Homo-oligomer: A and B are copies of this chain.
Amino acid sequence: MIINDLDQLFEITQEKLEEQYGTITINFANKTHVYTGNDVIGNCLQEWLPDWFSHLGVDVRPGDNTQSFPDFVAVFNNISHDVEVKAWNYNNSPAFDIANFSSFLATTYESPGKLNARYFILGYQPMNDGFSQGFLVKKVYLKFIWEITSPSRNYPIGLQVKRGQPYAMRPYNFKNNEDRSFRNKRQFIYAVKDAFEEFPNDSLPFTADEWLNRVLSY
Contact = CB atoms under 8 A, between A and B. Distances in A.
Contacts of A24: 24-27, 44
Contacts of A55: 31
Looking at A21, A39, A40, A45, which has the most chain B CB atoms within 10 Å of its CB? A40
Q: How many copies of the polypeptide does the oligomer hold?
A: 2
A47 B35 contact: yes
Contact of A28 (B20, B36, B37): B20
Contact of A29 (B20, B43, B44): B20
Interface in A43-100: 43-45, 47-48, 51-52, 55
A176 to B, nearest CB: 25
Contact of A43 (B40, B45, B52, B137): B40
A-B CB proximity, top 8 nearest: A22-B28, A40-B40, A26-B44, A33-B48, A20-B29, A33-B51, A26-B48, A24-B26
Interface of A: 16-17, 20-29, 31, 33, 35-37, 39-40, 43-45, 47-48, 51-52, 55, 137, 163
14 contacts: A17-B29, A20-B29, A23-B26, A23-B27, A26-B47, A26-B48, A29-B52, A33-B48, A33-B51, A35-B44, A37-B47, A39-B40, A40-B43, A40-B44
